[in-house]
């Protein structure tokens, strides 16, 4: 089985992820790789050595994590087996001193990308360790600004930037992630502000509170973007009853007092139905209905 893993890695290295050669090799080998503990250990060993020096091993590990997630969702035993074997292999490598904190953050990001919970062993604050002292953070603000500019230059948006940062911070304890997101909102960058909105929707409670507090602070500094302010009533409807939602409500009230809330009668969109289609009723009286519409912007000029 270890040889099968080596073969997959060689084909991936030679032909690339999207090649027909690798796709054929992976489809034939994936169930064996998921089921065998020795193959899993070999792949994890490659990943834990250095993701920079062995990017193909990280790619293969990420693909197997995704397959394992689908296996768990479909009640197939191989998914759970692989995740258990992978966590055992990671623990064994860390016990031998392999895996620097930043390196473990990247591996945690593979779990997040696959939609899986991050194993506790990959979190940056395990018992008896204080990795914050080991991780140099030179010019964090400059690095964030440069990353955001790169994403925009490549045609990406705030969601793509959020996804990348969410993967990078997957191994952070929740209080550290909340502090990081709050700091993100302290920077005078509208792109980062839009990025933080995704944590307001999808983050844990502590992170949502940090986003809400950061947005309120931006409003008080006069830095909250009107577009962001217009999104908050919509996002508020998706939030559970919580302190974060209470802060969002407070932002709305403050914006109204400051005259910043949008006038619902101005610049509103009106859908114009252009086509309607319906199916015939079936045997139980059910019927499908669909329509297409265009949106027309109406701007009302106020007389002053």
Residue 211's SS3 state is helix
Per-residue pLDDT reduced to its tens digit, 8-44: 888 888 888 889 998 999 898 888 889 888 888 888 8
**Residue where the block lists tokens 């914050």:** 132
Per-residue pLDDT reduced to its tens digit, 116-154: 888 888 887 644 444 444 444 445 677 777 777 877 777
CA 65 to chain centroid: 16
Q: What is the rounded average pLDDT for all residues in the chain?
A: 79
Element (H, E) at 190: helix 190-202
Nearest CA to 68 out of 118, 30, 12 is that of: 30
- Say if residue 287's pLDDT is above 80: no
- For the entire predicted model, the pTM comes to 0.63
- Say if residue 90's pLDDT is above 70: yes
Residues 6 or more apart whose CB falls under 8 angstroms from that of 135 comprise 101, 102, 124
- pLDDT bin (cut points 50, 70, 90) of residue 163 is confident
- pLDDT bin (cut points 50, 70, 90) of residue 207 is very high
Q: Tokens standing for 251?
A: 């932002």
> Averaged over 163-171, what is the pLDDT?
83
- pLDDT bin (cut points 50, 70, 90) of residue 215 is very high
Note the residue count of the chain. Answer: 304
- Say if residue 259's pLDDT is above 60: yes
Residue 55 has a pLDDT of 76
Cβ contact 124:171 at 8 Å: yes
Nearest CA to 166 out of 143, 196, 130 is that of: 196
Residue 67 has a pLDDT of 92
Q: What is the CA radius of gyration of the chain?
A: 24
- Say if residue 248's pLDDT is above 90: yes
> Averaged over 222-226, what is the pLDDT?
90
């Amino acid at each position: 089985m270890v040889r099968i893993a080596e073969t997959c890695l060689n084909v991936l290295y030679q032909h690339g992820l999207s090649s027909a050669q690798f796709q054929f090799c992976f489809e034939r080998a994936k169930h064996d790789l998921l089921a065998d503990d020795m193959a899993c250990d070999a792949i994890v060993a490659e990943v834990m050595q250095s993701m920079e020096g062995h990017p193909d091993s990280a790619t293969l590990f990420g693909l197997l994590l995704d397959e394992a997630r689908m296996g768990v969702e479909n009640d197939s035993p191989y998914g759970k087996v692989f995740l258990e074997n992978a966590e055992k292999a990671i623990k064994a490598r860390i016990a031998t001193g392999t895996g620097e904190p930043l390196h473990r953050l990247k591996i945690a990001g593979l779990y997040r990308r696959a939609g899986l919970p991050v194993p506790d062993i990959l979190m940056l604050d395990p018992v008896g360790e204080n990795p914050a002292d080991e991780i140099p953070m030179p010019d964090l603000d400059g690095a964030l600004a440069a990353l955001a500019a790169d994403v925009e230059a490549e045609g990406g948006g705030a969601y793509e930037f959020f996804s990348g940062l969410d993967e990078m911070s997957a191994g952070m304890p929740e209080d550290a992630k909340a502090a990081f997101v709050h700091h993100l909102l302290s920077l005078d960058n509208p792109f980062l502000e839009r990025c933080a909105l995704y944590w307001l929707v999808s983050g844990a409670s502590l992170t949502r509170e940090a986003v809400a507090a950061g947005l309120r602070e931006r409003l008080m500094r006069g830095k909250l973007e009107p577009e962001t302010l217009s999104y908050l009533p919509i996002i508020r409807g998706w939030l559970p009853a919580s302190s974060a939602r209470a802060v969002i409500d407070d932002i709305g009230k403050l914006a109204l007092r400051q005259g910043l809330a949008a006038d619902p009668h101005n610049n509103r969109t009106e859908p114009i139905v252009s086509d309607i289609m319906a199916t015939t009723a079936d045997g139980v009286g059910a019927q499908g209905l669909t329509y297409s519409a265009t949106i027309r912007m109406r701007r009302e000029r106020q007389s002053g």
